[in-house]
Copies of this chain bind each other. A is one copy, B any other.
Amino acid sequence: MFKIGIIGATGYVGTEIIRLLVQHPDIEIGAVVSKSFTGRSYPEIYPNFRNLFEETLLDMDPDLLCEKADLFVTALPHDAAKDIIPALIKRGRKVIDHSAAFRFRDKNVYETWYKTTHGMEDLLKKAVYGIPELYRKKIAGSDLVGNPGCYPTCAILGVAPLLRNKLVCLDSIIINAASGISGAGRKSDLPYSFCELDENYKAYGVAGHRHTPEIEQELSALAGENVVISFTPHLIPMKRGLLCTSYLDLKDTNWTSESLYEVYREFYRNEFFVRVLEPGTLPETKNVSGSNFIDVSVNYDSRTNRAIVVSALDNLGKGAAGQAVQCMNLMLGIDEKTGLTYPAYYL
């Protein structure tokens, strides 16, 4: 049994990781940390865990924590990472960080878009971007993984086959996305109150959302050339689920939805968690919410010679906690699928 610590255990990503780990056959939760709720038992904050997981929330004490776990997931606000991650790494522990701090190769990009100083540049060198389908070996051999943003995972895995195979123009990619509200975190701000969001739909972060450079970094890596995109997220009046609709100009013209499907099928041939849908079938978030799957459908728009890719995942699942557990399994040397073979709830 491996022991895992979750730091930032009372945010939505934190509680979703705990929900997955309490049923993980090879993992025991060694420590749960929350500065806001130190000393409280976990079900006091999340009553759904009564009778199942009743540990006391601990304070941020690196020495104490390192006695209790070998690998930590940190799900803290972006600047709080600096307070704890170096201390854990120094003590020889592995870390999966859910903030944006370790997602970027170039710290200047992070500092520009997140309007803060990185402060952990030496660690940045050893960090690996946490999408197993792209960086499996590196993740398995790493001590520090930057858990990707939810929108980026959905967008990147959605278009990766087209970019790596150099099938599309790189200067006209448009990614439109929408997510359930839990992606914003456990907030008490008025704009996130029920009456302000129910039966409402809106765009946000137009022409400037922080996930843009993260998506561009990975698409550029896939393509081998610089990629600049337009990315627009939207908020859906539901709790979880995320869907991207991506538009890419194809270089050649003799495509069909079937031939594009073959490219995707081949690219994701061995990937259990990436389900490539047959032409004519489109993803729906209810088919992935509560699971670690991402459903992808590539469609040929003959009138404009575009590939229109629709990809859907659970922003809390494959978009955050599920992917963290997937990386965790790799880093611990166990089967990547362990503890993740749940179907989406559908209902």
Residues of B within 8 Å of A17, CB to CB, are none
Contact pattern, A 182-222, Cβ under 8 Å of B = 1, otherwise 0: 10001111101111111111111011000010000000000
Known A189-B188, A195-B182, A343-B22: A201·B284 in contact at CB below 8 Å: yes
Check A147 for interface membership: any CB of B closer than 8 A: no
Residues of B within 8 Å of A51, CB to CB, are 272, 275, 293
- In the assembled complex, the Cα of A15 lies from the Cα of B347 at a distance in Å of 9
The number of chain A residues with a CB under 8 A from chain B is 92
The interface stretch among A1-9, A75-83, A90-98, A299-307 is A299-307
A206 lies within 8 A of B299 (CB): yes
Chain A, range 214-236, C-beta contacts under 8 Å to B: 228-230, 232, 234, 236
Closest to A276 in B: B50
Count identical subunits in the complex. Answer: 4
A243 lies within 8 A of B207 (CB): no
- In the assembled complex, the Cα of A49 lies from the Cα of B275 at a distance in Å of 11
Known A193-B192, A316-B347: A48·B237 in contact at CB below 8 Å: no
Residues of B within 8 Å of A293, CB to CB, are 50-51
Residues of B within 8 Å of A23, CB to CB, are 23, 341-342
Closest to A257 in B: B207
Check A329 for interface membership: any CB of B closer than 8 A: no
Check A178 for interface membership: any CB of B closer than 8 A: yes
B198 lies within 8 A of A194 (CB): yes
Known A48-B287, A48-B291, A304-B230: A245·B203 in contact at CB below 8 Å: yes
